[in-house]
Amino acid sequence: MNKKASWNDCQTILAQHGIKKLYHFTDRDNLESIIRSGGLYSWYGCEQRGIKIAKPGGSDLSRQLDKNNGLQDYVRLSFTRDHPMMYLAMQEGRISNPVILEIDIEAIGWVGTLYSDRNATRNDARRGDTLADFSLIHFNSVTARNHFDLDEEEQPFFQAEVMVKSFLPLQYITNIQSFGIPVNQQLQAKQPYTAQITRNTPTAFIFLVDQSVSMKRETLFNGTRMTLADAVAQIVNNQIQELVYRCIKTNEVRHYFDIAVVGYGERVVSGWQGALTGRDFVSPEELQNNPYKRITVKEETRTRKGVTTKEVERVQWVEPVCNQSWTRLHMAFDYVRHLLEEWLMDHAGQECYPPTVIHITDGEFNGTTRESLVQQANEIKSMFTPDGNVLLWNIHIIPTHDHVTAFLPTSKNEVYNSYSALLYDLSSLLPTRYNADIAKLKQTDGATRHVAMAENTDLTTLVQLMDIGTPTNINQNV
């Protein structure tokens, strides 16, 4: 590619601010088309070549603004992974499983590349192709973690753009090999969420549990009166025990999973007790070797003759807690995001089944805005492994068996109030591999993808959702 005379000066500015790459967000469903096409075309270029964009990130309005400004034939790149427009596209349903393409900074120096100090379609944007135009970018702002870290008047500059004319070749997408799709051989479709779970490619589960005082409300579970906190603790402990069982082969407990339990109210804490107190992720072997205590509980079993109740011994690693005054979900989401960042960094480049976060609550959040909370959830959902994006479940429970307001919906038309609409926005769109189990539970056909949320769920349904939410593709030979 031909370089501008100013490229060396641009490199000096980039080095001063520690900028080593550019970014472009898209949906995972678009990757195969990008590879087949040999790179990224502008949306206008795709139209001209008959390339169908499975999930376009831009809206009809943004395309019209591009045309109005003569920008329809440019590939848009940014300096940030956490682009506000990506989260808007998620919220509006245009993309559901975002991936971040990392772009070689050489694209900045190509002849024909434009620069804009903010979103290029804004009326007040300053854009052009010279070094002077490049120097107008607020580099201290574009290197912030997200635009919420900036003063309000500075936030628009977080969206500064580099615009490549018409086409960006595949070799300049430096992480294109990271998504499990063959690039340098005959292309074969790679279905996400199909990675085998092995000791070399484990997955992770995070159980995020509301510990606010409202969890003291009583319910009937397995024929016994108890608090919601007691019931949830039993269910989470049983699910952890099941995950440990899946890792046992002969006399060995294999490291197929990393498991964390996080409790939250006005503060966020690790949920482990005993020898694991204060830990975040722990292995199945550590769980097997460090039970907190054993308790005897009643469990109901349905047979042809009716419901029978028997006493069984169960292991506990997690205690019921319901003594926190507030429901600071935003603090819990921050904690979870940091856990996931570390886990994904430790397993970078590995073909791991994506981590799953299962959030259980009995009430609404406080201490932040709805918009900020959706942004945090989208940040979690936009994290990914080569096999797919992190899956975030949000399950609202109640003590009684009232009518479920929203339950694994297939569209937002199936939610009927503001709170269930929020849970919908916070939750992941599940891949089709979950459809068969959901169809059995809902007694519906298995053709349409579902959103990982439920409102007004009783404890029996919570158990069923936990089973669906913790699938495993364990390869016990590895």
pLDDT tens-digit series, residues 446-470:
778 899 999 988 888 888 999 999 8
The answer to whether position 237 is within a domain reads: yes
Task: Give me the mean pLDDT over the 279-303 stretch.
Answer: 87
Distance CA 475, CA 131 (A): 54
pLDDT at res. 412: 87
Task: Give me the mean pLDDT over the 165-183 stretch.
Answer: 88
Phi then psi for residue 101, to 5 deg, are -85, 130
Residues 313 and 374 in one domain: yes
The answer to whether position 149 is within a domain reads: yes
pLDDT at res. 294: 87
> Among candidates 108, 120, 1, which has minimal Cα distance to 69?
120
Using a pLDDT cut of 70, give the percent of the chain over it.
95
Measure Cα distances from 90 to 97, 267, 409, 429 in Å: 8, 28, 17, 10
Residues 169 and 216 in one domain: no
- Given 179, 213, 242, the domain boundary residue is 179
Report residue 250's pLDDT band, with 50, 70 and 90 as the boundaries.
confident
Report residue 190's pLDDT band, with 50, 70 and 90 as the boundaries.
low
pLDDT at res. 330: 96
Is the pLDDT score of 122 beyond 70?
yes
Residues 250 and 362 in one domain: yes
DSSP of 367-435, one letter per residue? Answer: SS-HHHHHHHHHHHHT-EETTEE-EEEEEEE-SS-PPPSEES-SSGGG--SHHHHHHHHHSPBPPGGGH
Is the pLDDT score of 156 beyond 90?
yes
The answer to whether position 440 is within a domain reads: yes
Number of domains in the chain: 2
Residues 104 and 62 in one domain: yes
The answer to whether position 374 is within a domain reads: yes
Distance CA 331, CA 264 (A): 8
pLDDT at res. 357: 97
Residues 264 and 385 in one domain: yes
Report residue 188's pLDDT band, with 50, 70 and 90 as the boundaries.
low
- Given 113, 144, 179, the domain boundary residue is 179
The pTM of this model reads 0.84
Report residue 407's pLDDT band, with 50, 70 and 90 as the boundaries.
confident
Residues 84 and 208 in one domain: no
Is the pLDDT score of 435 beyond 70?
yes
Q: Domain holding 319: CATH number?
A: 3.40.50.410
Q: Tally the residues of the chain.
A: 478
pLDDT at res. 270: 96
pLDDT tens-digit series, residues 223-244:
889 999 999 999 999 999 999 9
pLDDT at res. 478: 64
| Higher pLDDT, residue 295 or 50 | 50
> Among candidates 218, 206, 282, which has minimal Cα distance to 244?
282
The answer to whether position 306 is within a domain reads: yes
Distance CA 450, CA 408 (A): 6
Task: Give me the mean pLDDT over the 74-96 stretch.
Answer: 91
Buried b (16+ CB within 10 A) or exposed e, 122-140: eeebebebebebbebbbbe
The answer to whether position 39 is within a domain reads: yes
Range of weakest confidence among 39-43, 62-66, 348-352: 348-352
Using a pLDDT cut of 90, give the percent of the chain over it.
69
The answer to whether position 188 is within a domain reads: no
DSSP of 315-370, one letter per residue? Answer: EESB-----BS---HHHHHHHHHHHHHHHHHHTTTS-PPPPEEEEEESS---SS-H
Range of weakest confidence among 31-35, 179-183, 188-192, 340-344: 188-192
Domain extent at residue 446? 203-469
> Among candidates 318, 257, 261, 315, which has minimal Cα distance to 288?
315
Task: Give me the mean pLDDT over the 192-206 stretch.
Answer: 93
| Inter-residue long-range contacts of 343-350, CB under 8 Å, 24+ positions, other chains counted | 343/204, 343/258, 343/281, 344/383, 344/384, 344/385, 347/201, 347/202, 347/385, 349/178, 349/386, 350/200, 350/201, 350/385, 350/386
Residues 142 and 217 in one domain: no
Instruction: For the chain, report the end-to-end CA distance as a whole number of angstroms.
Output: 45
Is the pLDDT score of 402 beyond 70?
no
Is the pLDDT score of 373 beyond 80?
yes
Residues 230 and 355 in one domain: yes
Task: Give me the mean pLDDT over the 145-150 stretch.
Answer: 84
Is the pLDDT score of 255 beyond 70?
yes
Is the pLDDT score of 214 beyond 90?
yes
Task: Give me the mean pLDDT over the 165-192 stretch.
Answer: 79
pLDDT at res. 375: 87
- Looking at residue 110, the DSSP 8-state letter turns out to be B
pLDDT tens-digit series, residues 295-334:
877 776 766 767 777 777 788 999 999 998 899 999 999 9
> Among candidates 28, 56, 2, which has minimal Cα distance to 382?
28
pLDDT at res. 448: 86
